[in-house]
A and B are shown apart, each in its own frame.
Chain A
Amino acid sequence: MSVLVYIENWDGKLKKLSYELASYGAQLAEKLQLPVKAVSLGKVDETILKSVGKYGIAEVLSDTNEAYNTLDNCAIAKALFAAAQKTNASIVVMANNNLGKAVSPRLAVKMKAGLVSAVQGLPISTEPFVVKKMVFTSKAFAQITIKSANKILTLAPNSFGLAEKNTDTTITAFDAGLSADDFATTVVSSNKVTGKVLLQDAEIVVSGGRGMKAADNWGQLEELAEILGAGTACSRPVSDEGWRPHAEHVGQTGKIIAPNLYFAFGISGAIQHLGGVSSSKVIVAVNKDPEAPIFEAADYGIVGDVFKVLPQFIEAVKELKA
């Protein structure tokens, strides 16, 4: 038996979350006294794949078929299943991002594995196998027992962090045995976000609500995000108005995020919004209404005008970084 970690790449580079998953997989394997291996799908140089050795991965199976770039759910699940069989994996670990959410359920059926998404930390116990996760959109925690012999865990980006454990890594060429027929997704066009921190990857998130008043007022908020290396987000009315893209909406029906630091500018803090952000480690709220519910969820608050506070924040962060 072994633990298998699915490390993702984009444009030939490993994603940041892959190192976090490697760290998690290695610690989980140590706890279970099992070997840990990783699988990479798509064209990634061996030197890059070897970098996961720093986080405790001894072997990486690498299938360099470029067709994985279409992110076809069926094909990737099939390839992961082949890798799980080859490594005799009883536990597969992957990211709780768009791709992980898409392929983990398919893999769970192939492996007849109990699946828990967005687990928090290592298992509470391994016999029985109990993990913890947030439920009711962050309003409560649950402990879940996985009863099946095979298990799949997905991990929210940034929820675990990196843990170094230098290991010599061997790269093993791997052919999952897929044919052209396995890839049914035709990509007509891709629009890649470049030069911006992705919301799901961001350790700091700067978010704006209706209190920002208009789409044109986002300049300072974006400037703050840029100098902090933060992702940008918004509340539901803002995306509904079309001031910001839907992909930035955090809260109920949007994204559920848990950064280390969340700035809420002009967000009143409806319960649906709080559900999406209340797992953030620290919440800072700026709102002109002292009665706004956001202050009940926040750790630090300023009752005031966002347009007076933003320039002060920007200056102070610049000083701090200098």
Chain B
Amino acid sequence: MKILVLIGNVPDTTTKIKFNADHTAFDASGVQWIINPWDELALTRALELKEAYGAKVEKIVVANVGRSETEATLRKALAVGADEAIRIDADPLDAFFVASQLTAVAADYDLILAGIENADYNGTAVGGMLAEMLDRKSVSAVSGIDLEDDLLKISREIDGGSQQLTMSLPLLAVVQKGIAKEPRIPAMRGIMMARKKPLNVIAAADAEALTAFDHFELPPAKAACKMVEEDQAASLIRILHEEAKVL
């Protein structure tokens, strides 16, 4: 079985967000880039499956759509244990565009894993769009995935509970919290090995974006927090009722 993990390159989650002067684009100066946290969980689970089932998991490949500066993020994925990386050389314009690009490389994989959300533009769609473009079954909000013979045992969250499923390969799974515990931290040996692993750069195909981010703004500054003494806690409930009108 070959596993492909889709990797988003996003600003570190502690980044102070700023935009260019006319508010039309994210200002990336001084930003640290990381593997999108949900994608990192997907990769972690893929590595766990390979460790648990040995040769059954033939290889794990990571792929992203981005320019050369995103290679550091792909190298990190290689350093924690992915076997190969693919970078499709284009700016990731929107989910439809990114999924269209990925169709060129994704069809060969039995299992494709994508994170449920991106920490930058908070899109949720690349995985599902890619599945549709490949005419492949998909399952979303996956919080557990395991192999059983030729089938996959899946736990997924539904609106109002959770379910255990079985599904067959090939499959695209959109994964979330619970799929794996802690992401892995690259060790020195892994970092050294990552330098020798293949990172294939592929030219972008013709594809269109259906949406465009035109304007950004920061939320208005919040008014100072109104403090209430500990022994007057009951009065806060009245304030929430009478002043804030949320109770």
Q: Which residues of A contact B (CB under 8 A)?
A: 8, 10, 15, 71, 73-74, 77, 95-99, 101-106, 108-110, 112-118, 130, 133-148, 184-193, 198, 200, 204, 228, 239-240, 246-247, 249, 252-256, 260-261, 271-272, 275, 278, 281-282, 284-286, 295-305, 308-309, 312-313, 315-317, 319-320
Chain A residues, CB < 8 A from B161: 190-193
Cα-based distance from A308 to B157 in the complex (angstroms):
35
14 contacts between A and B (CB under 8 A): A101-B140, A134-B122, A140-B216, A140-B217, A140-B218, A142-B216, A146-B210, A185-B165, A193-B160, A240-B181, A249-B177, A302-B227, A320-B237, A320-B238
Judge whether B132 and A301 touch: CB under 8 Å.
no
Decide yes or no whether B138 CB sits under 8 A from chain A: yes
Give chain B interface residues in 1-58, CB to chain A under 8 Å.
11, 13-15, 17, 19, 26, 37-38, 41
A225 to chain B, nearest CB (A): 13
Shortest 5 CB-CB contacts between residues of A and residues of B: A105-B128, A304-B230, A102-B140, A114-B210, A316-B237
* Known A106-B132, A275-B13, A305-B230; contact A184-B137, beta-carbon cutoff 8 A: yes
Q: Which of A95, A115, A191, A247 contacts B96 (CB 8 A)?
A: A115
A187 to chain B, nearest CB (A): 5
Chain A residues, CB < 8 A from B74: none
* Known A109-B99, A247-B157, A249-B177; contact A116-B165, beta-carbon cutoff 8 A: no
B97-135 Cβ-contact flags toward A at 8 Å (1 or 0)? 001000000000000000011011111111111011100
Question: How many residues of chain B have a CB within 8 Å of chain A?
Answer: 85
Judge whether B166 and A74 touch: CB under 8 Å.
no
Of the candidates B14, B215, B223, the one having the most CB atoms from chain A within 10 angstroms of its own CB is B215
Chain B residues, CB < 8 A from A137: 13, 119, 122
Known: A108-B125, A313-B236. 10 other contacts (CB 8 A): A95-B159, A98-B159, A109-B133, A117-B123, A135-B213, A136-B119, A140-B216, A140-B219, A189-B163, A284-B236
Cα-based distance from A271 to B14 in the complex (angstroms):
6
A198 to chain B, nearest CB (A): 6
Decide yes or no whether B162 CB sits under 8 A from chain A: yes
Q: Which of A115, A116, A143, A198 contacts B159 (CB 8 A)?
A: A198
Chain A residues, CB < 8 A from B95: 105, 115
The segment from B59-67, B185-193, B239-247 found at the interface with A is: B239-247
Q: Which of A98, A192, A300 contacts B225 (CB 8 A)?
A: A300
Decide yes or no whether B228 CB sits under 8 A from chain A: yes
Q: Which of B13, B37, B117, B240 contacts A284 (CB 8 A)?
A: B240
Judge whether A317 and B247 touch: CB under 8 Å.
yes
Judge whether A115 and B210 touch: CB under 8 Å.
yes
Residue on B with the closest CB to A105? B128
* Known A105-B129, A137-B122; contact A300-B216, beta-carbon cutoff 8 A: no
A188 to chain B, nearest CB (A): 4
Judge whether A98 and B247 touch: CB under 8 Å.
no
Chain A residues, CB < 8 A from B129: 105-106, 108-109
Chain B residues, CB < 8 A from A278: 219
* Known A98-B159, A147-B212, A246-B178; contact A109-B227, beta-carbon cutoff 8 A: no
Judge whether A261 and B246 touch: CB under 8 Å.
yes
A311 to chain B, nearest CB (A): 9
Chain B residues, CB < 8 A from A105: 95, 99, 124-129, 131-132
Cα-based distance from A144 to B212 in the complex (angstroms):
6
Decide yes or no whether B226 CB sits under 8 A from chain A: yes
B26 to chain A, nearest CB (A): 8
Cα-based distance from A259 to B244 in the complex (angstroms):
14
Residue on B with the closest CB to A281? B246
A295 to chain B, nearest CB (A): 5
Chain A residues, CB < 8 A from B239: 300
Chain A residues, CB < 8 A from B211: 114-116, 144-148
Chain B residues, CB < 8 A from A315: 234
Residue on B with the closest CB to A148? B210
Judge whether B230 and A308 touch: CB under 8 Å.
yes
B198 to chain A, nearest CB (A): 29
Residue on A with the closest CB to B174? A102
Chain B residues, CB < 8 A from A143: 213-216
Decide yes or no whether B167 CB sits under 8 A from chain A: yes
Cα-based distance from A219 to B12 in the complex (angstroms):
36
Chain A residues, CB < 8 A from B216: 135, 140-143
